[in-house]
Structure 1
């Protein structure tokens, strides 16, 4: 089981953005590879801290994490983490400042102070529509994705402008003395490498536009608007860089008879007056198939029957919601003379007089119970 992000950084769930950044910097400096050469445990903590900071420093990701935990980013191949050293140094290198001399000597690519960098390909975004049944049971979707892939046969050589450094250093004489400035190489874009040879149908970076079928395992319990990530299924990066990610936005399709409220489902069941008086049994639809329920004689309109564990599984693994069946007694709008005569005879009968009992709650009490 993955560790809690707040516990990794040693902060409370009410921590401010400044407190989160301060806590991450403290952890990152403590477990930095330069301070702990060859220590695999320190390297693991360094990556965990970066993963925690990546989520908690982003208000949207933090909100999803607070609501759904790690399942907001994980599920059969999805992940909010899995960061490697290149990801960490390219995204958060500025947090370390000059603590390590403005650069990282471990050979992981993107140092803090510029220089040759490892590029990550751009992310791709798709929207996947799911039925309530698919959400309740989890599903594997095979989606065709158009992505750029490194063309087979593409080779790279050292950039002749920056000699593989990825940056150009200039020295200028000023009234304050000699000043040195560095900027990314405009020829290679800071890669330190440039295309040597490529297939004729590839673009200038040696990329080909392809269509690939990606298998996406979506866990049960996802909600509309949730975004999942499939690592490495975005666009490839040139010069053997890191592939981008595929971001999957969940869209819930409306159901014909069921309404979702969190992990619970609601179903409106209409019965006739005679069925309400005599009692009956009805077959209703659930996300796991049809079930038959018994309705006692004398049931009142507005009564709610609760079918345990017939709702949506919690994405955090906290059990399964319920199916709430709302009983609605249907009153006919037109009657035959015989039917009208019957009800006129019964209008003064004691059995037809409204005599609510204590357990027959009012509408407002039922609404209060639903939201408690």
Structure 2
């Protein structure tokens, strides 16, 4: 059969959007579905043709190449799918919507285990430097006695006689046949004559496992650590889920955190602020020397680069910012008050004012005033 234009196959324009193309394919798939065209070779060919057209036009890259070069641009040829089963598997979402159950399903369906969440609170130091923490985690695991089969050791799992092991039965509605999960085996395709005593035929049991979780240095509240394969056990050979560890980091009284930067408040007297001073401030790895410059003002931020928190998974670190707070004395002795007044009085006259005052005295003495 000569290849037809893909837009013609789906009966859409070349400017059709993604939703329009999907609706058109659903219509074609429903019209030529093998379930209500049994033995019709032409309908089967149209079914494959529509699937091939949809596979190209739903993909922006393939569609662009097809629009430019035609079938040669996507290496199109008859029989893009080897069988209808390939189509069912490739577009399981489409056929799941159409028929309520994937036409590709056969036999027991492996299902991935559920993901788990664990809320973990760590200290500021653990978050700053990193740590390894052992968790005690209750969860579903594969039954050790039956290895997940659900059958007692020494017994066998038999195919469901109702659905012949397919896990589904078909019901006719008008000229449609709808595939549905088998009500006898619940869609597993299996019958267990002698269930495992430990898991009661479920194939999974509840157990408490100890797990070591590595907390990277520099993490903050809200960080989620993903531990692959440590969630709930899968069903019928399905993979296990993942474990997500949600972190809450305790605050530290010494610092205020802003991302990977730390802010520390350092109090100094007004004399130390005026004359300059050397102090030590706390850092993550110990005390750090800090030179306070002369004349520093209250509220000034002094930066110690690279002394903040590390960025997780990187060598860079944030900064430690020291906020200067100049203290004003509230209780003074008589002598201290006297000295402060002398200090204020000495500061009232600038050098220029002193020169002008001296010049005025000299002029008066010479009779120039």
Q: Tell me if TM exceeds 0.5.
A: yes
Distance 1:187 1:334 in 2: 89
- The answer on 1:301 being equivalent to 2:298 is yes
Q: What residue in structure 2 maps to residue 102 of structure 1?
A: 88
1:124 is matched with 116
CA distances 1:22-43 after superposition (whole Å, capped 9, x unpaired):
99x739999xxxxxxxxxxxxx
Q: Unpaired runs of 5+ in structure 2?
A: 1-17, 20-54, 64-83, 151-156, 351-369
**Offset at residue 128 of structure 1 (A):** 1.8
Deviation at 1:236, TM superposition (A): 0.9
Larger of the two Rg values belongs to structure = 2
In the alignment, structure 1 residue 148 sits paired with structure 2 residue 121 = no
Matches for 1:215-254 after TM superposition, within 5 Å: 215-254=212-251
Q: Is 1:170 the equivalent of 2:171? A: yes
Counterpart for residue 50 of structure 1: none
Aligned residue for 1:211, secondary structure, equals: strand
Query: Structure 1 336/158 Cα, relative in aligned 2: closer, same or farther at 3 Å?
Result: farther
Q: State the Cα RMSD in Å.
A: 3.7
Q: Is the 8 A contact 2:110 2:235 kept in 1?
A: no
1:292 to 280, 289, 304: 289
C-alpha change, 1:166 and 1:318, in structure 2 (3 Å) is farther
Structure 1 segments of 4 or more deviating over 6 A? 27-30
Matched, 1:325 2:322: yes
- Which of 179, 182, 196 aligns to 1:182? It is 179
Larger proportion of helix:
2
Asked if residue 26 in structure 1 is aligned to residue 59 in structure 2, the reply is: yes
What TM-score results when the alignment is normalised by the length of structure 1? 0.60
Q: Which of 201, 204, 207 is the aligned partner of 2:204?
A: 207
| Aligned equivalent of 2:27 | none
Change in 2 beyond 3 A, CA 1:205/1:294 = same
Q: Could you tell me how far 1:114 is from its partner in structure 2?
A: 4.8
**Cross-structure match for 1:271:** 268
Query: Is this contact kept in 2: 1:128–1:251, CA < 8 A?
Result: yes
CA deviations on 1:218-268 (whole Å, 9 max, x unpaired) are 223333212221111111123232111111112121111111212211111
The corresponding residue for 1:348 is 345
Check whether the contact 1:276–1:297 (CA below 8 A) recurs between aligned residues.
yes
**How far does residue 195 in structure 1 lie from its aligned partner after superposition?**
5.1
Q: What is the SS of the residue equivalent to 1:344?
A: helix
CA–CA distance in 2 between the matches of 1:333 and 1:258? 27
1:272 and 1:350 map into 2 onto residues whose CA distance is 19
How has the CA–CA distance of structure 1 residues 299 and 203 changed in structure 2, closer, same or farther, with 3 Å as cutoff?
Answer: farther
In the TM superposition, 1:58-97 aligns within 5 A as none
